[in-house]
């Protein structure tokens, strides 16, 4: 059963230079207790999508179209009071940078307790007890609850941010690159901790990342995002074992493999397009090794590779057509 269902979500930022088209008609769903990996390069629109779910898109951003249905109710049609009751309580977000996510003039204990007091019907004493319990779950002792963020290392700050997000046992966790600012050994510890807490609280999660290794360890389904669109979507097995879109193939070609010995990695040529001036046709065509004239003129629709596995690509449709002809 789907806990969250997003359909045709469009988020643009009107500016003097033009309309920044950050999210362009994406659709995805998250099932109860499952994790969806949202993968793509910086600037693909991943964080904006997460902020849209919480209705926290910064001005002058506007959610122009679409629906975000949570537990059968569209968040975009809710009153602000309803959204505030859900935000931080039923849907929480681990922000990308713990340095800016925490208030520097409040103790970490007060910041966690504040969330509990806001959303849970309990006394200050009970909120303090719950705060100590959740900090303990992320490996922070009660003796550190009175310390300020500047007294913690980057990894410990991230643990505080995770504790704040999980303080009210949310049903959906939006984790925005939760390990980007951490060194490799701490990354592994933090992801292991997030997965353990997610299992303990039966929390669904959208994991925003560009690290396919983390996706392989943590996710049940994957959405590959490029220039504000989902270009490939499917189960973990679909994306890793039956990779279809040239952009997804490029992402896998850009990382080392223990199974294949290669002289050089194959990075994707070029850069992400300017969201103010997106290419015509398929947005990936200027960087795609298989692009032809049709790709430059006609935007591909999402087509089903197999049940539940979707791909936006003219080249793949051509290959599938040739394979069908060969089998006749």
Domains of the chain in start order, with CATH, are: 2-90+168-327 (3.40.50.300)
pLDDT score of 121? 85
**In this predicted structure, what is the pLDDT of residue 258?**
62
User: pLDDT above 70 covers what percent of the chain?
Assistant: 94
pLDDT on residue 257: 65
Residues of the chain where predicted confidence (pLDDT) is lower than 70: 181, 256-260, 262-265, 320-328
Per-residue model confidence (pLDDT) at position 285: 94
CA distances 109 to 163, 297, 305, Å, are 10, 55, 49
pLDDT the model gives residue 154? 83
pLDDT of residue 328: 43
User: What are the tokens at 127?
Assistant: 């909120």
Tell me how many helices (H) and strands (E) the chain has. 12, 12
CB 197 within 8 A of CB 162: yes
- Choose among 233, 310, 270: nearest CA to 43: 270
pLDDT value of residue 87: 92
CA distances to 1, 89, 139, 222 from 169, in Å: 19, 7, 17, 24
Record the pTM.
0.89
Average pLDDT, the chain: 89
Q: Supply the pLDDT for residue 126.
A: 93
Identify the H or E element spanning 80: helix 80-86
- pLDDT of 260 reads 67
CB neighbours of residue 256 within 10 Å: 7
d(CA 87, CA 167): 12
Helical ranges in 150-276 per DSSP H: 154-166, 184-201, 212-218, 236-241, 246-253
Digit-coded pLDDT (tens) for 81-140: 999 999 989 999 998 888 888 999 999 999 999 999 999 888 999 999 999 999 998 889
Structure tokens, 242: 């039956």
**What does the pLDDT read at residue 259?**
67
Task: Answer yes or no: are the C-beta atoms of 171 and 204 closer than 8 Å.
Answer: yes
Task: Give the model's pLDDT for residue 178.
Answer: 85
CA dist 144 → 43, 148, 149, 274, 278 (Å):
36, 9, 10, 45, 48
Q: What length is written for the chain?
A: 328
């Amino acid at each position: 059963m789907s806990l969250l269902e997003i359909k045709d979500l469009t988020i643009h930022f009107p500016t003097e230079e033009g309309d920044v088209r950050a999210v362009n008609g994406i659709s995805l769903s998250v099932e109860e207790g499952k994790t969806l990996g949202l993968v793509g390069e910086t600037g693909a629109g991943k964080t904006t999508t997460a902020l849209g779910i919480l209705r926290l898109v910064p001005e002058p951003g506007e959610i122009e179209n679409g629906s975000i249905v949570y537990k059968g109710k569209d968040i975009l049609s809710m009153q602000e009071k309803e959204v505030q009751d859900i935000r931080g309580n039923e849907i929480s977000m681990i922000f990308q940078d713990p340095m800016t996510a925490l208030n520097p003039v409040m103790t970490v204990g007060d910041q966690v307790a504040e969330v509990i007091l806001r959303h849970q019907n309990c006394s200050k004493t009970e909120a303090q007890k719950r705060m100590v319990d959740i900090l303990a779950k992320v490996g922070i002792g009660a003796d550190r609850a009175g310390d300020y963020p500047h007294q913690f290392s980057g990894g410990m700050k991230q643990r505080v941010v995770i504790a704040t997000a999980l303080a009210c046992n949310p049903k959906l966790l939006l984790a925005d690159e939760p390990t980007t600012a951490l060194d490799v050994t701490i990354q592994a510890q933090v992801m292991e901790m997030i997965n353990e807490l997610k299992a303990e609280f039966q929390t669904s999660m959208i994991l925003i990342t560009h690290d396919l290794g983390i996706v392989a360890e943590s996710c049940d389904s994957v959405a590959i995002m490029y220039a504000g669109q989902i270009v490939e979507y499917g189960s973990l097995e679909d994306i890793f074992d039956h990779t279809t879109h040239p952009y997804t193939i490029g992402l896998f070609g850009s990382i080392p493999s223990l199974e294949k010995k290669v002289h050089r990695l194959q990075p994707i040529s070029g850069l992400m397009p300017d969201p103010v001036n997106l290419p015509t046709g398929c947005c990936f065509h200027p960087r795609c090794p298989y692009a032809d004239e049709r790709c430059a003129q006609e935007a591909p629709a999402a087509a089903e590779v197999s049940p539940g596995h979707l791909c936006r690509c003219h080249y793949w449709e051509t290959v599938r057509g040739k394979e069908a002809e060969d089998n006749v």
